[in-house]
Amino acid sequence: MSQPPFPTSPTSLGSPVITPSGRWFALGGALIALGVIGGIALGAFGFLQTSGRIDDFQRVGVPGSGVVNLAESGGYTVYFEYPGASSEGASGTVNLRVLDPHGKHVELRKYDASITYSFGSHEGRAGFSFEAAEPGGYRVTTAGSSEVTVAIGQGLGSSFVGTLLGALALGFGGVALGVLVIVVMAVKRSASKRNAAVGGLGY
């Protein structure tokens, strides 16, 4: 006499599928890596860009006189370059006069904020700012400590800070998003495993 077949065990139907896919962890790791690499790359780009702008500053020795050619109108900054400028105050006294392309005096405004730089062989501190009403050659006459070089160019503060903040935002944003993806996927997969285990027991 034949025996009835044994009932099929739930586990014999195949392993339950755990969702979401484990590939999401790889995505989270990729976001973290992209954030770190992108932040470093953007920071390095900003560093090189700022260094290039400083190299392009037009300079006049102290004491001395020279013409700086400003390609566009707008705000410019007068920097004093000397050894230790990024960590110390002014080295001696420098008298400065700027004349516009028509020979008229340009108003110099004392730079209240402490803006310094040290890139390569250039180390400077912001001293004055002025407004160039038009492009052209501006006569700069200096007198004072011979240890100082006057450098003139557009301000560094906003561009450098903007790039730095962008690099930090990209780096931390990528890491935070990647960690969030990993944590959320881990929680969901853990819940999926518990549900599969309960289903496997026949409850």
Report, as an integer, the average pLDDT of 72-101.
88
pLDDT averaged over the chain?
A: 85
Report, as an integer, the average pLDDT of 176-195.
88
Do residues 181 and 27 touch, judged by C-beta distance below 8 A? Answer: yes
Q: 174 and 143 share a domain?
A: no
Q: 98 and 151 share a domain?
A: yes
pLDDT band at residue 12 using 50, 70 and 90 as cut-offs: very low
Residues in Cβ contact with 34 at an 8 Å cutoff, skipping those fewer than 6 apart: 174
Q: 162 and 99 share a domain?
A: no
- pLDDT for residue 15: 65
Interval 138-164: pLDDT, tens: 999 999 888 899 999 987 766 667 777
Report, as an integer, the average pLDDT of 162-173.
85
Tell me how far apart the alpha carbons of residues 113 and 49 are, in angstroms, rounded to a whole number: 22
Report, as an integer, the average pLDDT of 59-88.
93
How many domains in the chain?
2
Q: Is residue 36 part of a domain?
A: yes
Burial class (CB in 10 A: 0-12, 13-18, 19+), 111: middle
* Locus of tokens 């400077």: 124
Tell me how far apart the alpha carbons of residues 178 and 35 are, in angstroms, rounded to a whole number: 9
CA separation (Å) from 29 to 101, 149, 173, 180? 58, 49, 13, 10
Taking Cα atoms as reference points, which of 83, 76, 78, 107 lies closest to residue 94? 78
Report, as an integer, the average pLDDT of 173-184.
92
Residue 79 is part of which domain span?
Answer: 57-156
- pLDDT for residue 146: 83
Q: Is residue 101 part of a domain?
A: yes
What's the pTM value of the predicted model, to 2 decimals? 0.67
Q: Which two tokens stand for residue 165?
A: 């903040």
- pLDDT for residue 139: 98
16-20, 38-42, 51-55, 94-98, range with the lowest pLDDT:
16-20
pLDDT at 10 over 80: no
Q: Which residue has the higher pLDDT, 156 or 89?
A: 156
Report, as an integer, the average pLDDT of 109-127.
89
Q: 96 and 129 share a domain?
A: yes
Q: 35 and 50 share a domain?
A: yes
